[in-house]
Structures are given as structure tokens and as C-alpha cells.
Structure 1
Amino acid sequence: MRRPVLLSPDPDSPFPPASQALREPEGLLAMGGDLRPARLLNAYRHGIFPWYSDRQPLLWWTPDPRMVLFTEAIRLSSRFRRGLRSSPWQVRADTAFANVVAACATAPRPGQDGTWITAEMQAAYLELHRLGHAHSVEVFDGEQLVGGIYGVAIGRMFFGESMYSGASGGSKIALAALAHRLRSWGWPLIDAQVENPHLLTLGAESLPRPLFLARVRELTAMPGIEGPWTDRFGILPASVLAEVSAG
């Protein structure tokens, strides 16, 4: 029985090629290593992400096919868009990163016992955020955080990690707002990692891994945005998203 590749302790060491990923479990490529920024950024540039629980070693994945969202093709239902037209909520970026990550870690998820966003993972992404590579999009009702999404940006590629709703529709608005802004910046793709029924309703699609990796190579090589997104993103009224195409 094949086993995932054991990574070198050197954070600058290369990952094995995606073609070596297992079919069972689908996409498991490697184990071990660490979550230092150099290794994490190298992983994302090669379409690889960490995903494990407290009871597991550090595991690295590159599934085939890969779930993605095209920023020009996010779908919101007509009913949801009607409600948005009168919504007082506002969307910002990088003003509450730690709060979004913590909320994603504690959000209950159907069929999931515990969280994969361990304390070690939270610390790693907080460091990436401090270095300007990880970002959050936050939905506020007044000053109350009611939803959000966070992930990693390299070049013009956004790798989504997790999102949550503190109030009904919070995660949908966060994702739609992220796509809205990325589209205006010329960023075409959001990595959504693995198939999720909720994301499928919002327009997510599956890409064969070779095609996904080719797009990642292309997009991560392009110039991106350095540092926090707060000013560039601005304050986006949720009502603007009512013009997003209907599902």
C-alpha cells in the first residue's frame, strides 16, 4: 500500500510532484514538515494545502479534480438578492482577520467532529497575515461581525481556506464580496479545494488537477497586491451584491 511522501525538515525543500498524490484518500500527497511561511507559500504555489486534525500528523493535499469558483460566475438566488437590496450590512477586508479565523475554527459543521483549524494552524495563518499574504473579508452588521472568509493570496490567485456565518447569509455575502472585488482587480479564480454542496449552489465548478495547476502557475506569477487589503478593498455595501447574477 502506497503511503504519502515524508517531507524533509528543511522548510525550503520541494514538495513531490502532484502526480504522486494518492487516490485513496484522494489527493493526499505528503506528511510532516511544518507550517512556516516559506513552506506554506511554496505549497500554495504548487496547488497544495495543509489539512489535518489534532489527532493526525501534518498532512498535505492536492485533490483531483479541484473545486474552484470563477469570480465572474458567482451565483446568488433571486430571493437572496431581493433581501440584499435593503441590507444595511457592510463588507471590509483585513480589519478582523484573527476574529474570522477563530470563528471559522469554532463554527459547527455538519458531519464534522472538532476542527481542522487547530491552534497551530491559526498561528500559522496569523503569521502569513502579518507578512501580508493571508487576508480576510468580513461582513459587519454595524460593528458586529456576522460572517467572513479568509485565505491566501499569491500573485493574482486567491486560495480560499474557510468561511463562516454568524448570521444567516453571512458567508454568502463574504464570498460574493470577495469575488466582486477580485473580479474588478483582474483576478479570475478562487480555489475552493474540495467539493462542497453549499459552494456548488454558489457556482463552484470542478477542474481537472492538471488544468488547475496550470492556472495556478500562470496566476501566481503575475503581480499581486502587497500588504493589507483594507484600503484597496474599501467598504462595500452588501446591497451592491444584489446585482450579482441569479442562480
Structure 2
Amino acid sequence: MYLLPKEIIFPPVHLADENGILAIGGDLSVERLLLAYKSGIFPWYNEGEPIIWYSPKERMVLFPNELKISKSMRQILKKDEFKITFNQNFAEVISNCKNIYREGQGGTWITSKMEQAYLELHKLGVAKSVEVWLENELVGGLYGIDLGHIFCGESMFSKISNTSKLAFIYLVQKLEKENYKLLDCQVYNTHLESLGAREISRVDFLKYLKG
């Protein structure tokens, strides 16, 4: 296991273990986080643990033109009941992602230090959010890291059923219009697969990342 020094560096990503763990330690400074995302690496750990850095061998991604919208979601979109905004209330979005109850999970992986780190990235225009509103209440949303040609999704939340999906759909449609290569979803789950995401190799992901 590679223990990060104070210097802002990472080992080559092909050295990650079978679980995708590349290194531990270091910090959540803006400089280190930017280097991580530009290198295909992301932090993922629980409160009380050292920072764990991942670069999985198989990367879950969504190519914007492969987005799948179910019939039920098309009906919700057609009703136009919710208002969608981009990057208007990042702090509230990440706070909700951190604090919302998730069935089957004992807690959140968004630690207080991580929340502060991403707020700093937001001030620099790198971390961005999508908000879903019902009247004046924030009822869903997501946030992630915008690399200019790839958007790295981090977390989403819903206070009303399907509102995180709405945020996701609107984001993907926006990315497609702006010619983004892909949305990075990091690791596999069935929910993302149902929306059209699929796994590609780390090698291929890095090719897209490097442009």
C-alpha cells in the first residue's frame, strides 16, 4: 500500500490493487484533489479513516448520447413540475448529500473535511452542482467535478422520489449539448446502469481523460 508523502504526487494508477485502492494518506488540498481527478483518481473513505485514494480497473461512465430515460421519467419530465438550476446552491446540495438518510447505509462517506474541500473547489469554479426545486424548496440534486470535457459525478440526493434522477438527466443533456466526452460515475451500481452507464477499462478512461 502506497503511503502518500507531503509532496503533491500519486503513484502510477496501474499500481492500484484489485479493489482499486491506489494510496492512502495525504490531504484534501485543492492542489492534490485537482491532480487526483486529472489523473483518474478519487478519494473515498469514512469518517475516522485515513484518506483512501481509488483508481478502479473498471470505470463506470455514461456517454451522454447513451442516456436511457424510462417511460415513467419521461412522464415526470413532461409534467414540468420541478425547476432545475445549475450551480446556484452548491453548499446546500453537498450538505444534503452528506446528511440525507440512505436506507441500508450506516452513515455517509462525505466527511466534514471533504465537504469543506469541495466547497473550496466550488469557489474556484471546479466543483459544480445541479439543483431540483419544488416551489422554493430544494428537493433533489447532485454535485461533481467539472474538468471541462469530463464531468466527475460525486453524489446525489432526493427528498422527493426521482428528483436525483431529474438532476442527473438534465446534467447529461447539458453535457451532450456542450460536447462533453462522458460523465464519470466512478464505480458500478445497478441504478446508474439503468440510466445507460456502463463500465470501460481504466486504460480507456484515461485516454478520454487526457483528451
TM-score normalised by length of structure 1: 0.83
Q: 1:168 to 1:139 in 2, by over 3 A?
A: same
Q: Does 1:22 align with 2:17?
A: yes
Alignment size in residue pairs: 211
Q: Does 1:212 align with 2:205?
A: yes
Q: What SS does structure 1 have at the residue aligned with 2:57? A: coil
Cross-structure match for 1:71:
64
**1:197, CA displacement in angstroms?**
1.4
Q: What SS does structure 1 have at the residue aligned with 2:32? A: helix
**1:83, CA displacement in angstroms?**
2.8
Q: Does 1:6 align with 2:8?
A: no
Q: What SS does structure 2 have at the residue aligned with 1:85? A: helix
Q: What SS does structure 2 have at the residue aligned with 1:190? A: strand
**1:14, CA displacement in angstroms?**
2.0
Cross-structure match for 2:28:
35
Contact persistence 1:72–1:188 (CA under 8 A): no
Cα RMSD over matched residues?
1.0
Which amino acid in 1 is paired with 2:201?
P
Contact persistence 2:142–2:168 (CA under 8 A): yes
Greater fraction of residues in strand: 2
Contact persistence 1:6–1:32 (CA under 8 A): yes
Structure 2 gap ranges (5+): none
- Residue-by-residue CA offset, 1:40-74 (whole Å, 9 max, x unaligned): 00000010000001121011000110001111111
Contact persistence 2:130–2:171 (CA under 8 A): yes
Contact persistence 1:32–1:58 (CA under 8 A): yes
Q: What SS does structure 1 have at the residue aligned with 2:36? A: helix
1:39 and 1:175 mapped to 2: Cα distance?
A: 27
1:38 and 1:19 mapped to 2: Cα distance?
A: 22
Contact persistence 2:43–2:54 (CA under 8 A): yes
Structure 1 gap ranges (5+): 219-247
Q: 2:37 aligns with which of 44, 57, 74?
A: 44
Mapping 1:216-231, distance limit 5 Å: 216-218=209-211
Which amino acid in 2 is paired with 1:172?
K
Which amino acid in 1 is paired with 2:2?
V
TM-score normalised by length of structure 2: 0.97
What is the percent sequence identity of the aligned residues?
44
Q: 1:56 aligns with which of 49, 54, 58?
A: 49
Contact persistence 2:140–2:159 (CA under 8 A): yes
1:29 and 1:82 mapped to 2: Cα distance?
A: 43
Which amino acid in 1 is paired with 2:181?
P
Q: Which aligned segments of 4 or more residues in structure 1 are displaced greater than 4 angstroms?
A: none
Cross-structure match for 2:154:
161
- Residue-by-residue CA offset, 1:68-108 (whole Å, 9 max, x unaligned): 11111111111221232113211111111011101111122
- Residue-by-residue CA offset, 1:202-229 (whole Å, 9 max, x unaligned): 11100011001111111xxxxxxxxxxx
1:208 and 1:110 mapped to 2: Cα distance?
A: 30
Q: What SS does structure 1 have at the residue aligned with 2:133? A: strand
Q: 1:92 aligns with which of 64, 85, 93?
A: 85
**1:111, CA displacement in angstroms?**
3.1
Contact persistence 2:181–2:208 (CA under 8 A): no
